[in-house]
Amino acid sequence: MESYRYVVADVFSDRPLAGNQLAVFTNAQKIPEHLLQQLAREIGFSETVFCYRAAGKGHARIRIFTPESEVPFAGHPTLGTAFVLAGPLQLGLIRLETGSGVVAVELERGESGRIVFGRMSQPLPRIEPFEQSSELLAALGLERSELPVELYDNGIRHVFVALGSEAEVAALAPEQRVLKAFGAIGVNCFAGSGKSWKTRCFVPGLGVGEDPATGSAAGPLALHLARHGAVPFGEEIEIRQGEEIGRPSILHARVQGKSDAIERIEVGGAAVIVARGEFGLPSGI
């Protein structure tokens, strides 16, 4: 019998049973390769993380799996893993090696010494027009987007559609089967103004109908808004997500630089550890 231990954290929330669920296998060295996807599917969260000894200058190397496939980078798994690993190590900054490079996460502690907030520096995305915007709008039941529909790729591909009001975002009922045909992309629909924005993210192509909190999309959303003049570069925005599926989440994002010279993208939020578990599986399964 082999034993594989994991920790469950709720990410982008400061209270349990909200935010985005994450399972972190803190020592995956002995987990057979063929079991990684099966374990992620068994757990069923939007992402599951497997941690390994660092290969380079990071503190740890992580691999991230959705229920359907491995992805090189994702936001809430990176932030949540930082909370899980840095707590016992008493680190104020942890560097995690992902498939999209090393991601540094700065951590803040409260009076009790517990980590209460983390802020990660995300990979800078590649930006391109989304050629199927008409078909995508039809699948969402929309006639138009308030801003250009563009694709951002920072390890996960995200497309962004701007709606006229937060009420319109809340009322969306997309055709999941049609969205899945667009492949492994996150479809992000958002509205808001100033520092306050509401978003919903649909990722059926990766086995996630609707994501409660999408850290990999928060940075690109802030960049999309800054590039199109909706917020100033350098201003931090607050993003609300997950209310419609009973997992309210709060994300913070900021972009430094300018449209033709992006310097840094930061995404931050809280997380809480809510459970610890163990898989006991027969040897050779």
What tokens does 214 get? 């999408």
What pLDDT does 61 receive? 98
Tell me the average pLDDT of the chain. 96
What are the E-state strand segments in 115-184? 115-121, 126-129, 150-153, 157-162
Give how far Cα 176 sits from Cα of 100, 131, 150, 183, Å: 28, 19, 20, 11
The pLDDT value given to residue 68: 92
Residue 44's pLDDT is: 95
> Which residue out of 47, 150, 210, 266 is catalytically annotated?
47
- One fold for 2-123+270-281 and 126-263: yes
Q: Per-residue b/e over 69-82, b at no fewer than 16 CB within 10 Å?
A: eebebbbbbbbbbb
Q: Residues 2-123+270-281: name the CATH superfamily.
A: Diaminopimelate Epimerase; Chain A, domain 1 (3.10.310.10)
C-alpha separations of 120 from 38, 75, 245, 275 in Å: 28, 8, 26, 24
pLDDT digits (tens, 9 = 90+) for 211-259: 999 999 999 999 999 999 999 999 999 999 999 999 999 999 999 999 9
Q: Are 264 and 256 in contact (CB under 8 A)?
A: yes
- Across 45-70, average pLDDT: 96
Q: What is the CA radius of gyration of the chain?
A: 18
Q: What is the DSSP letter of 8?
A: E
Helices marked H in the chain — which ranges? 33-43, 75-89, 133-140, 166-171, 176-180, 215-227
pLDDT for 269: 98
String of DSSP letters for 207-244 = TEEEES--HHHHHHHHHHHHHTTSS-TT--EEEEE-GG
The reported pTM is 0.95
Indicate the domain borders of the chain: 2-123+270-281, 126-263
111 is a catalytic site residue? no
- Residues 126-263: name the CATH superfamily: Diaminopimelate Epimerase; Chain A, domain 1 (3.10.310.10)
What pLDDT does 1 receive? 86
The confidence score (pLDDT) of residue 272 equals: 97
* Sequence letter at residue 170: A
Does 62 score more than 90 pLDDT? yes
Which tokens is 56 given?
A: 């380079």
| 3-state class percentages of the chain: helix first, strand second, coil last, to nearest 5 | 20, 45, 35
- 116-152 tens-digit pLDDT: 999 999 999 999 999 999 999 999 999 999 999 999 9
